[in-house]
Chains A and B, each alone.
Chain A
Amino acid sequence: MAGLRALVMPKMGLAMTEGMVAAWRKAPGEPVAAGEEVADIETSKITAGYESPAAGSLRRQVVKPGVMVPVGTLIGVIADGTADDAEIDAFIAAQHAAFVPAAEAASAPAPARVATEIGPIQVLEAGPEDAPPLVLIHGFGGDLNNWLFLQPLLAARFHTFAIDLPGHGGSTKTLPGGNFAALARAVAAFLRARGIGPAHLVGHSLGGAVALMLAPESLSLSLISPAGLGPEINMDYIGGFIAARRAREMQAVLAMLFADPALIGRDMVEGVLRYKRLDGVAAALQAIAAANFANGRQNTSLRATLAAIRVPTLVAWGEADRIIPAAHADALSPSVRVVRFPETGHMAHMERAADLARHIIGIADA
């Protein structure tokens, strides 16, 4: 059965225990390239494309769309041309016989809180401890869970650290200051406390600006729709995120993040609302917005900083970004590698995780 590959329900993020095929992108018998999306996988949090691990043809859709199955369940079979139906039936039977649902939560890595000079910082680590360090820094109102698709892909090559910025997630809600520099000092404090030397830095949006401030200490820099490269910022998003109290209001705000708002699930909205209800969060978000986006514009330009840095740098942007326009990636220094994703919004790390991971690994190797 050399030519047979199992497609199994992927685990997208720590909390995921089950999911469903929202739709098959390939009909039975249709050819599939490695890395091509064969199905859309839906969880209560988000819907995302599922890339084929191998080239061949989709010989079987084992699971029908709309049926909830545990992580690891066989959902389809990819085969080269030589396998006959009997072989595939035997393969499916063997897969089913061998399947043991993963022990929930117990085996999942859990985030830890690291004491730093500016208060506790929450971090989720993944990947080999002897691999080069790579730090993931989320954007305004986000948290380490924003990296749920990208972090596992990067953890194959790097010792990854997804952190919560101060005022966010499980980190201290007391800010050392709201501007880029203060947040960068907080990340530096975390790196010192955790004993991480020069690292590959990956930052999104506000976290991109923070990463850029730390560039001199980094091995490489990957910035996804970063703040700081132009004056425009969608204040309907920033203001709406701070103001929204109910699920439907928040859903409408979060919809601005994605090229396809249908990707947002109920649990993502509820998770953001729960975060916003924590003591101190409203004040922290307002302080960050006031420090960086007063008068409805970004008031700190890091274009000169970017032009001056010497480490390999990637700037990635979704062409349909409605929060910070992709035009901010225009006319950057020729040493910066710029990648634009079509039909992608502000969340390329969620919307285009696999492509983006390849580019990040590429810049880290440059």
Chain B
Amino acid sequence: MARKSFRQAVNEAIRQEMARDPRVIVMGEDIAGGMGAPGEDDAWGGPLGVTKGLMPQFGRERVLDTPITESGFIGAAAGAALTGLRPVADLMFVDFMGVCFDQIFNQAAKFKYMFGGKARTPLVIRTMYGAGFRAASQHSQCLYPLFTHVPGLKVVIPSSPYEAKGLMIEAIRDDDPVIFFEHKMLYDVEDEVPDEPYTLPFGEANLTREGDDATIVAFGRMVMLANEAADQLGAQGISCTVIDPRTTSPLDIETILEEVRATGRLVVVDEASPRCNMASDIAAQVAERAFEALKAPIRRVSPPHTPVPFSPALEDLYLPDVEKIISAVRAVMAAGGRKAA
């Protein structure tokens, strides 16, 4: 076992599945790069180098650089999946997904239902999301709630290199379309990652901290911040459970309800815009099913409802951070009832 970055973990997962299963192919813009330019093969490996090395190992037949036309190659990937291949398509930034909504929402997500359960669509769409990269409003959004909203899609948001590898292998082996979200700010984060292939099941939340006073649910990069907040609060005598749902569709709401019933307090940290995001969805489900357990109103930590600012100072202000999570936990501790005995 060795320390590997999030980038290496995703690369290793795809590489091992390509080696294991000849049906796995990779496609997208510049995922190898240098096509047609002598001496420049594998120049890019994707915009941030995640797929580097796959083309030299598996060849242009299985690692396909596509034109800059998301509507075209995502549609092609969905069709390839229907024919029995297992494509991993790289959509670069989730912000660009809008041009191929029909291929995803109406085609890939619906094939199984429209064809009476006879069609399988083992498609993975990898995509980058999230702010903090100084990339402004068209390259910084967290659009996973849109995809969570659509029945027929699975939505995966790994929070660490270990999670990334296990969830990517699970995604490639899954027979339904999976949208796989990679936060740009996590690529250089390192973690112990086994060399051997392994899978993490979808719809099983992971408790990264266990405590008695409050429950924090967080997604993707926010899990790291929630852990840090929980550690700081722990040193001040407030112990928190931190839940990383790992996938928003399916969502392990049972684990969230169980922990909320144990602590009586809930904070949900979600980097997505605040209207109709995962935090509002979870708050609604908990209010509906565990209201009697709540000792304080649920708090959501999300950015304001505005495009991601380009100004670095404003972008930092926009994002949820450790301080904002700590003050939300303090607010649920102060509101209503007593501290749990």
Contact = CB atoms under 8 A, between A and B. Distances in A.
Q: Do A and B bind each other?
A: yes
A85 interface: no
Nearest to A280: B196
Interface residues of A, number: 10
B102 to A, nearest CB: 36
B172 to A, nearest CB: 13
Contacts of A247: 207
A173 interface: yes
| Residue with the highest number of chain A CB atoms closer than 10 Å, among B166, B198, B199, B207 | B198
Nearest to A172: B196
A283 to B, nearest CB: 13
B194 interface: yes
A278 B166 CA distance: 9
Interface of A: 170, 173, 245-247, 266, 274, 277-279
A279 B197 contact: yes
Interface string B185-229: 000000000101111110010010010000000000000000000
14 contacts: A170-B1, A245-B201, A245-B204, A247-B207, A274-B162, A274-B198, A277-B166, A277-B198, A277-B200, A278-B196, A278-B197, A278-B198, A279-B196, A279-B198
B307 to A, nearest CB: 39
A246 B204 CA distance: 8
Interface residues of B, number: 13
A272 to B, nearest CB: 13
Contact of A274 (B194, B201, B204, B210): B194
B29 to A, nearest CB: 31
Contacts of A245: 201, 204
Contacts of A279: 196-199
B40 to A, nearest CB: 35
Interface of B: 1, 162, 166, 194, 196-201, 204, 207, 210
Interface of B is mostly: loop
B198 A173 contact: no
Contacts of A246: 204
Given A170-B1, A245-B204, A278-B198, 17 more contacts: A173-B196, A245-B201, A246-B204, A247-B207, A266-B210, A274-B162, A274-B194, A274-B198, A277-B166, A277-B198, A277-B199, A278-B194, A278-B196, A278-B197, A279-B197, A279-B198, A279-B199
A113 to B, nearest CB: 10
Nearest to B197: A279
Contacts of B194: 274, 278
The 10 closest A-B pairs by CB, nearest first: A277-B198, A279-B197, A278-B198, A278-B196, A277-B199, A279-B198, A277-B166, A279-B196, A247-B207, A278-B194
Nearest to B170: A277
A145 to B, nearest CB: 11
A227 B274 CA distance: 58
B33 to A, nearest CB: 31
Contacts of B199: 277, 279
A279 B210 CA distance: 28
A320 B197 CA distance: 37
A266 B207 CA distance: 11
Nearest to B258: A248
A277 to B, nearest CB: 4
A284 to B, nearest CB: 12
A172 to B, nearest CB: 10
A353 B140 CA distance: 54
A246 B207 CA distance: 9
Contacts of B197: 278-279
Contacts of B200: 277
Contacts of B204: 245-246
Nearest to B169: A279
Nearest to B205: A246
Nearest to B162: A274
A173 B196 CA distance: 10
B231 to A, nearest CB: 12
A173 B195 CA distance: 13
